[in-house]
A and B are shown apart, each in its own frame.
Chain A
Amino acid sequence: MSNVLRRREIILFITGIVGGLNLFEYFFAVKEVAAVASTIRTWVVVISAFALGLGIITAFRVHISHVKRRTKGQWPFSIWLMGFFVLLTLIGLWNPKFIVYDWTFKNVYVALSTTLYAITGFYIFSAAYRAFRARNIEAAILIISGVLILLRNAPIGEAIWTGFPILGEWVLMKGQVGGMRTLTFVAAVGLVAFGIRTLLGMERGYYGGE
């Protein structure tokens, strides 16, 4: 049975019907089709919830395997992960406003998360150093643009010369807009092309096909 359900034709048929109905509903005002498309979107929420559950089962299987095999440097953390998951799920189901549930999230997770995000600044600095090496004309233009933006944002730029913020503003609001809009444009067309290939069954990778 599971082999039948995994058949490529069935996956393509479902993809085609669901995609086609939603496309039709987007362009045409037909009540009956809108009702069916709305129902399908409700199914998506339900199926996503199931997929989330499957994802958690997959993660547990991997971590149980780590614990069983005592994977070096990993298995104690696997116990932590599974233990906390079970504990917080139970507490959340019992009473989401329970102080332990709320406190651990606000005072442990949020704090750690913010700290990690904060170190992004240092990574951006080293990435900028890597990018700002004038190896060719394009890189030189990048450096000049980058420095102008820096001098626009930093107060010292205006203190050195009042023209720096104006030049930086021009780069930000005009100089780079055409390029960025082009990228947005081609990405959107590429997305449409990807959608069509998916609907026509020409995209095989996403369902594990050959």
Chain B
Amino acid sequence: MIITGRAFSFIVLVLSFVFFYVAIQLAKKGKAPKIRRMVAMDAIDEAVGRATEEGKPVHYSPGYAYASLSSEQGPQTLASIGILSYVASLCARFDVPIIYNTCIADSLPLVEETLRAAYRNEGKPEAFDAKSIRYQPDQSTYVSAVLGTFQREKPAVNMMIGGLYYECVVIGEAANVIGATQIGGSANIHQMPFIIATCDYGMIGEEIFAGSAYVTKDPLVTSGIAGGDWMKMLLIVVTVVGVVLELAGVKVISQLLGW
């Protein structure tokens, strides 16, 4: 019944669920697994603090991400909106204006609700300004608008987290010109060199997917990150054992992968 070639993926998925379950149960018993520190996520508080001191806005952007939530970049945009929720809460708490530029039209209702909820949760629903969400259709228009925003409003902080493309280096360098603290993150490996070159703090690989869970500091939620880390360790072991066995002429692992 299982589709040929997908059995191993299915086993990995089931094991992931098992690891999650175990990690959550440990957390419930007060033995939450330790997760590594994510410097870029920890830097968000410091960056918003800097914006508060300087009396300047925070700029947040999810990148181009094929301008659609339905694209393959959609999960990155959703993960980014999860982090935005935390950033917006901090901004609401410290009365720092937040500017959100995007070209992803179908994410706008979600973003508006996220920001509104963040202000409501901080007890300042009246401080939410829908004008802080700025939509520009398509990539180049969006990049131009961000450059204009930087020149006119000089934000103290620039965060670009999501499915980044060529805008990463353009926005990153423009933010450096105005002296903004930068936090960047993407799972698009072709943009990672630019994140490292332009940003003060970078999230690479899976970190943006873990970010929104990490900032909650809730052991039940962060234990899920540990579950993912255990899965990675298991897969590394499978890879190493597979390489050794292949070199020895034993094809068990490679046959298992194609099962």
Binds A, one of B42-50, B51-59, B68-76, B250-258: B68-76
Q: Is A187 an interface residue (CB 8 A)?
A: yes
From residue 64 to 86 of chain A, which have CB atoms closer than 8 A to chain B? 65-66, 71, 73
Query: Per-position contact with B for A40-76: 1 when CB-CB < 8 Å, else 0?
Result: 0000110010011011101101100110000101000
Residues of A within 8 A of B231 (CB): 189, 192-193
Bin chain A's interface residue count: 35 or more
Interface string of A119-148 (1 = CB under 8 A from B): 110011011101100000000000000000
B95 within 8 A of A: no
* Distance from B145 Cβ to chain A, minimum over Cβ atoms (Å): 10
**A55-B108, A205-B86 given as contacts; is B220 within 8 A of A190 (CB)?**
no
CB distance from B27 to the nearest CB of A (A): 11
Q: Is A113 an interface residue (CB 8 A)?
A: yes
Chain B residues lying within 8 Å of A202, measured Cβ to Cβ, are: 213, 220-221, 224
CA distance A124 to B12 in the complex (A): 39
A128 to B194, CA, bound (A): 8
A window 166-210: CB within 8 A of B: 180, 183-187, 189-198, 200, 202-210
- The reply to whether B216 and A189 form a contact with Cβ atoms under 8 Å apart is no
Q: Within 8 Å CB of A58, what residues of B?
A: 108-109, 112, 130, 133, 135
Q: Is the CB of A65 within 8 A of B131?
A: yes
CB <8 Å contact, B224 and A66: no
B142 to chain A, nearest CB (A): 10
The reply to whether A28 and B172 form a contact with Cβ atoms under 8 Å apart is no
Residues of A within 8 A of B131 (CB): 62, 65-66, 71
The residue from A59, A119, A196 contacting B135, defined by CB atoms under 8 A apart: A59
Once the chains bind, are B113 and A27 in contact (CB under 8 Å)? no
B49 CB to closest chain A CB (Å) equals 21
Chain A to chain B: the 8 pairs with minimum beta-carbon distance, closest first: A190-B206, A205-B82, A193-B228, A55-B105, A51-B106, A55-B108, A131-B197, A205-B85
A29 close to B (CB within 8 Å): yes
User: Which of B106, B121, B143, B189 has the most chain A CB atoms inside 10 A of its CB?
Assistant: B106
Q: Chain B: interface secondary structure?
A: helix
B143 & A116 in contact (Cβ 8 Å cutoff): yes
The answer to whether A117 and B189 touch across the interface, beta carbons within 8 angstroms, is no
Total contacts A to B, CB within 8 angstroms?
208
Instruction: Please tell me if the beta carbons of B140 and A113 are within 8 angstroms of each other in the complex.
Output: yes
A192 to B187, CA, bound (A): 13
List which B8-45 residues lie within 8 A (CB) of chain A. Answer: 9-10, 12-13, 16-17, 20
**In the assembled complex, B83 has its CB within 8 A of some CB on chain A:** yes
Give the secondary structure class of A's interface: helix
Given A58-B135, A210-B117, the answer on whether A190 and B207 have CB atoms closer than 8 Å is: yes
Q: Is B192 on the interface with A (CB-CB < 8 A)?
A: yes
Cα separation A73 to B138 with both chains bound (whole Å) = 22
Q: In the complex, A124→B171 CA distance in Å?
A: 11
Once the chains bind, are B70 and A48 in contact (CB under 8 Å)? yes
Tell me if B124 is interfacial: C-beta within 8 Å of chain A.
no
Q: Give chain B nearest CB distance to A149 CB in angstroms.
A: 11
- Determine the residue in chain B with the shortest Cβ distance to A181: B189
Contacts A58-B133, A183-B204 known; A30 to B16 CB distance under 8 Å? Answer: no
Distance of B254 from chain A, by nearest CB (Å) = 17
Tell me the complex Cα distance, A186–B111, Å.
27
Give CA–CA (A210, B207) in the complex, Å.
Answer: 21
User: Could you list 8 examples of A-B contacts with CB < 8 Å?
Assistant: A26-B6, A58-B108, A116-B144, A123-B173, A127-B169, A191-B187, A194-B79, A202-B220
Q: Is the CB of A123 within 8 A of B169?
A: yes
A123-B117 in contact (CB<8A): no
Given the complex of chains A and B, what is the CA–CA distance between A62 and B108 in angstroms? Answer: 12
- Return chain B residues, CB-CB under 8 Å to A36: none
Bound together, the chains give a CA A189 to CA B205 distance in angstroms of: 9
Is A120 a contact partner of B170 (Cβ separation < 8 A)?
yes
